[in-house]
Structure 1
Amino acid sequence: MNLLDGDGRADRQGTFEAEAAAFDPAVRAEVSRRRTFAIISHPDAGKTTLTEKLLLYAGCLDVAGMVRGRRNQRAVTSDWMALERQRGISITSTALSVDYRGVRVNLLDTPGHEDFSEDTYRTLMAADSAVMVLDATKGVEPQTEKLFQVCARRGIPILTFVNKLDRPGGDPLGILSEIERVLGIAASPLNWPVGLGRDFRGLCDRQTREVTLFDPSARGSLVVPTTTCRLDDPADTVLSAADRGQLQDELDLLDVAGAPFDRGRFLQGQVTPVFFGSALTNYGVEAFFDAFLKLGPPPGARRAEGGPVPVDRSEFAGFIFKLQANMDPKHRDRVAFLRVCSGRFERDMEVTNARTGTKLRLARSHRLFAQGRETTDEAFPGDVVGLNSTGDLRLGDTLYAGPPVCYEPLPEFPPECFARLDCADTGRRKQFDRGLYQLVEEGAVRVLVSTRPGVREQYLAAVGTLQFDVVQARLESEYGVPTRLVPMEPKLARRVGGDAAALKSLWLPRASIPTSDRDGLPVILFSTTFELESCRKNNPGLQFEPLS
């Protein structure tokens, strides 16, 4: 039955309501100790550093950058690709699952560069909350603003970490004002810095008025020792009289003019709690993570065709939000990232793919730690499970057991950049085709094949040109295929629809390029909007739709 047809919607809504009444208490208990969040920021704001420090405080690192592993080997964390390390930026989203203070924390590290926005947007669909990292010296930057708007449209609660307080030029009051002015959300600081720049040495909890001062001898890679004192205890000499007076004045100002924090408004995405610190030196990082565990929401009901699906229903359901090839270079496998949304996931269970209606047995499932993984026998809502894919899974696929479920589709964006990709070594054409197919499955780029008679050309279509560099680098490093990239003039791509007779007599401008996508559907590349409009005018029986 099509879930969107007629009474199907009402029938499914009634089914979900009936399932909610028969909840699984074990699932509900596990859900209460899950926190699944994504980190968003502009490049170089400190997102990856903050991610690494969570691993440090969760006990997954002995020192920052050194992951505990077999024979004390050095292992990778969130930026595991060679190209990520060469360029110093996050290129692909990564899932990290750690246990911290009795809570299972599922962290989704997202690329900061705008050319990888599509991957970031898909990952945000799998998050229950987001951490927004701001550079104290730069404030709200363009990419942060774009990602914030995505979270705001979905109503995702956002916690803010103002990073790099140890650098000169930071203005905490100015940052709060900028958040409210640019992003249109109330900003409520829950702690306040003691000193700025090189003098940044502590934080004051606004609620308890307890001051935590950091030991400057242990910076960066180690957990920082601290000393605490009471702001309202003048007999305590840990804090100087001058610092105490200045801090008290600043807090009094915030109490009068600052936005109050309300948990209900936070969960509705109307106010963001703000924390200050320095991820590089670890100052304020532990306090932020502890607050996140208290404030961050556990997984909740998720929208689907037929109405929201409760997390504690008796049957499993989840969706694929990411595909990644060659995470294990020894096996050249493909991993599908499954966000568990309801019920209990069990290894070797049989599920149905809502897109195809086919049955799948999930025999190989893994708990993910960036590039690393370990076999997992069960998972609960909020968890991210890695599934070995043989090409039968696509981005956005819903997998379910029991009554049918189909979650809302993942966002897609029309490409704006195009280039021809040639295999530079004809002897490795087979590897070129296989590698390109697997990379296209990940959703980073689209491949369009020329349909001109006698022409065997393949074109890349992407949101940003940096994605082309990634495809070339990965084809060479992971498949041993050198390539040549030729930029193209076309700026517009339109999928053509209509009856067979009209398609057969399709009129095209001379400069346009006829192609087909991976499903064999016709796609035309145009250099200008004038070409597109001319084509529309001369083909009144056809529809020209953006690729989305």
Structure 2
Amino acid sequence: MTNQKEIEKRRTFGIIAHPDAGKTTLTEKLLLFGGAIQTAGAVKSNKIKKTATSDFMEIEKQRGISVATSVMAFDYRNKHINILDTPGHKDFAEDTYRTLTAVDSVILVIDNASGVESQTEKLMEVCRMRNTPVIIFINKMDRYGKDAFDVLDEIEQKLDINVRPLAWPIGMGDEFKGVYNMYKHELSLFDGNKTNISEELIKFSDLTDPQLDEIIGEKAAGELRDEVELVDGVYDPFNQEDYLSGKVAPVFFGSAVNNFGVRELLEAFVEISPSPRGRDTDEGFIEPENSKFSGFVFKIHANLDPNHRDRIAFLRIVSGKFERNTFYKHVRNSKKMKFANPTSFMAQDKSIVDEAYPGDVIGLYDSSNFKIGDTLTEGKDFNFVGIPSFSPEFFQELRNDDPMKSKQLEKGIRQLMDEGVAQMFIQEPGSRKIVGTVGQLQFEVILYRLLHEYGAKCSFTPLNYHKACWITSDKPAEIEKFTRAKVGSIAKDKDENLVFLAETSFLLEMAERDYPEITFHKTSEFKVK
């Protein structure tokens, strides 16, 4: 196939982590090694001293957290690498879950002191649902934390995945001397005073070489020999196929803030990570080698540049070749569309692309044509599946505090819902707007963006709902009977689908028991089946 060479060049992965594990810092150091940026932002005490490259929304700069997925690309060792940096905060998990549908592999960052945390477990569950290949980077080795073997045991137990260290730390905290790359048989020495990205590499095919004692000291050399021998005895030899099938996770150690251990991670990633993979559709599996272009929208972001009020749909290319100013079919709307200014991203910097290939993520300027999950094709009609919205866990009523700005509020809330920031349910009578999210912090983001991007002043009133479930049935009479009985708990989502707002888990269980002919959906996936 003519596109095969371009496909094999590409690597598209997401970086995931619990908040404060160092995910955004690692992202920037990978960009430094790739030559994509020259300096990195320093994240300290949860405040941005110098704004992180991948955090471009104003509220992110103020709060020191990532609340939107950033897309960045760079070239390294003849590979074209696409990084999707995701929000770490649990309140924005849904954006992260959807982003994971657009990547082919993942780097999971774990704080050496904190180990595996609850959000890490949830993210890993999503990876395991799709057998996504995972590389683990244990960060902050320049600080005192858990014993390396204890962290590995915790990872295997809590994340339900086998691990295989491909690098091993020499000490930690003040005694951290460097990392031995077991994959390449190289020693990298750590200098806490250095912040550049050049490391001295010393080749060591045989750790019994007495020179090792001279370089790192007799005690540290002895410990390294014993620990590497134990690693080789306890863990199976690295098997790339097991990694690619999601059965084993290679592990690296380092300190992202000090640029240390990052190169070992990047070098191995380029060698072992998968090239772009195909995706499931309602008409069968689509391989990247398929000559016909196809792709799906996994994220929408309005006002990426507040000065231009732009709205961009992020499209993951699955097959074929995307070309600028070429007509493609928007399957849901059943209409042909072409794009004059498709863009690639380096955080907030954008450049127009003339062509793109499977694995690439491009931005399409959009005037409200796209919704998350939409498919573009140049062949037959089909829809990519597996990009759901999740049932919200927090609910508040949106109130307009300035009736003179009603149009701005309507436009703003509609666009934010299209982005997948949250979900909105309209309840009659009175068109009562109920916003549902998977985390409380999203309400703060919504209010901030409505005010600063749309000039709409509004407020939220908390509501006592347990779960929102989409309801469907093959028997319309059952739906009619249910909606009459539960009239005060029925609403519609933005696509006019019926939703049951259950006040408690008990009432939801009762409804499921009393109405067996109705299906209560916990995700919106049913809409594309």
Pairwise same-fold verdict (TM > 0.5): yes
1:34 match: 10
Does residue 273 of structure 2 align to residue 296 of structure 1? yes
Q: Structure 2 CA distance, aligned partners of 1:502 and 1:509? A: 10
Q: Between 404-413 and 295-304, report the one with greater CA deviation.
A: 404-413
Q: Structure 1 CA distance, aligned partners of 2:72 and 2:186? A: 32
1:491 match: 466
Aligned partner of 1:320 among 287, 297, 303 = 297
Q: Structure 2 CA distance, aligned partners of 1:506 and 1:249? A: 68
Aligned partner of 1:217 among 193, 197, 204 = 193
Q: Deviations over 1:203-233 (max 9, x none)?
A: 11224533221333313xx324425253343
CA pair 359-171 structure 1, distance change in 2 beyond 3 A = same
CA pair 538-49 structure 1, distance change in 2 beyond 3 A = closer
Q: Structure 2 CA distance, aligned partners of 1:60 and 1:90? A: 20
Q: Deviations over 1:11-65 (max 9, x none)?
A: xxxxxxxxxxxxx32x100111100001111111111110011111111222213
**Are the equivalent residues in 2 in contact too, given 1:170–1:196 (CA < 8 A)?**
no
Does residue 389 of structure 2 align to residue 412 of structure 1? yes
CA pair 305-203 structure 1, distance change in 2 beyond 3 A = same
Q: Between 432-441 and 198-207, report the one with greater CA deviation.
A: 198-207
Question: Which structure 2 residues correspond to residues 158-307 of structure 1 after superposition, within 5 A?
Answer: 158-219=134-195, 222-226=196-200, 228=202, 230=204, 231-235=207-211, 237-307=214-284
Paired letter, 2:440: T
**Are the equivalent residues in 1 in contact too, given 2:24–2:52 (CA < 8 A)?**
no
Q: C-alpha displacement at 1:171, in angstroms?
A: 1.2
Does residue 392 of structure 2 align to residue 393 of structure 1? no
Paired letter, 2:491: T
CA pair 502-283 structure 1, distance change in 2 beyond 3 A = closer
Aligned partner of 2:492 among 508, 511, 516 = 516
Question: Which structure 2 residues correspond to residues 301-380 of structure 1 after superposition, within 5 A?
Answer: 301-380=278-357
Q: Structure 1 CA distance, aligned partners of 2:311 and 2:229? A: 55
CA pair 205-526 structure 1, distance change in 2 beyond 3 A = closer
Q: Structure 2 CA distance, aligned partners of 1:46 and 1:400? A: 38
Aligned-residue Cα RMSD (Å) equals 2.4
Indicate the SS of the match to 1:63: coil
**Are the equivalent residues in 2 in contact too, given 1:509–1:535 (CA < 8 A)?**
no
* Percentage of pairs with the same residue: 41
**Are the equivalent residues in 2 in contact too, given 1:334–1:389 (CA < 8 A)?**
yes
Q: Deviations over 1:108-167 (max 9, x none)?
A: 111112222211111101110000111111111111111111111101111010001111
Q: C-alpha displacement at 1:502, in angstroms?
A: 6.7
**Are the equivalent residues in 2 in contact too, given 1:203–1:211 (CA < 8 A)?**
yes
Aligned partner of 1:85 among 61, 78, 84 = 61
CA pair 238-504 structure 1, distance change in 2 beyond 3 A = closer
Question: Which structure 2 residues correspond to residues 519-538 of structure 1 after superposition, within 5 A?
Answer: 519-529=495-505, 531=507
Aligned partner of 1:109 among 85, 92, 96 = 85
Paired letter, 2:318: C
Paired letter, 2:245: Q
Q: Structure 2 CA distance, aligned partners of 1:481 and 1:88? A: 24
Question: Which structure 2 residues correspond to residues 113-128 of structure 1 after superposition, within 5 A?
Answer: 113-128=89-104
Q: C-alpha displacement at 1:306, in angstroms?
A: 3.3
Paired letter, 1:487: P
CA pair 227-434 structure 1, distance change in 2 beyond 3 A = same
Q: Structure 1 CA distance, aligned partners of 2:91 and 2:192? A: 38
CA pair 235-107 structure 1, distance change in 2 beyond 3 A = closer
Q: Structure 1 CA distance, aligned partners of 2:147 and 2:51? A: 37
Q: C-alpha displacement at 1:506, in angstroms?
A: 4.4
Q: Between 302-311 and 456-465, report the one with greater CA deviation.
A: 302-311
Does residue 464 of structure 2 align to residue 465 of structure 1? no
**Are the equivalent residues in 2 in contact too, given 1:170–1:197 (CA < 8 A)?**
no
1:69 match: none
Does residue 28 of structure 2 align to residue 52 of structure 1? yes
Q: Structure 1 CA distance, aligned partners of 2:424 and 2:521? A: 17
CA pair 432-105 structure 1, distance change in 2 beyond 3 A = same
Q: C-alpha displacement at 1:104, in angstroms?
A: 0.8
Question: TM-score with structure 2 length normalisation?
Answer: 0.91
Q: C-alpha displacement at 1:536, in angstroms?
A: 7.5
Q: C-alpha displacement at 1:197, in angstroms?
A: 1.0
**Are the equivalent residues in 2 in contact too, given 1:508–1:535 (CA < 8 A)?**
no
CA pair 441-194 structure 1, distance change in 2 beyond 3 A = same
Q: C-alpha displacement at 1:541, in angstroms?
A: 8.3
CA pair 208-379 structure 1, distance change in 2 beyond 3 A = closer
Question: TM-score with structure 1 length normalisation?
Answer: 0.88
Paired letter, 2:11: R
Q: C-alpha displacement at 1:235, in angstroms?
A: 4.0
Q: Between 167-176 and 224-233, report the one with greater CA deviation.
A: 224-233
**Are the equivalent residues in 2 in contact too, given 1:209–1:232 (CA < 8 A)?**
no
CA pair 501-104 structure 1, distance change in 2 beyond 3 A = closer
**Are the equivalent residues in 2 in contact too, given 1:316–1:344 (CA < 8 A)?**
yes
**Are the equivalent residues in 1 in contact too, given 2:27–2:85 (CA < 8 A)?**
yes
CA pair 456-399 structure 1, distance change in 2 beyond 3 A = closer
Q: Between 357-366 and 322-331, report the one with greater CA deviation.
A: 357-366
Indicate the SS of the match to 1:125: helix
1:21 match: none
**Are the equivalent residues in 2 in contact too, given 1:115–1:464 (CA < 8 A)?**
yes
Q: C-alpha displacement at 1:418, in angstroms?
A: 0.8
Does residue 360 of structure 2 align to residue 383 of structure 1? yes
CA pair 386-76 structure 1, distance change in 2 beyond 3 A = farther
**Are the equivalent residues in 1 in contact too, given 2:15–2:109 (CA < 8 A)?**
yes
CA pair 46-325 structure 1, distance change in 2 beyond 3 A = same
Q: Between 477-486 and 377-386, report the one with greater CA deviation.
A: 477-486
CA pair 414-186 structure 1, distance change in 2 beyond 3 A = same
1:482 match: 457
1:17 match: none
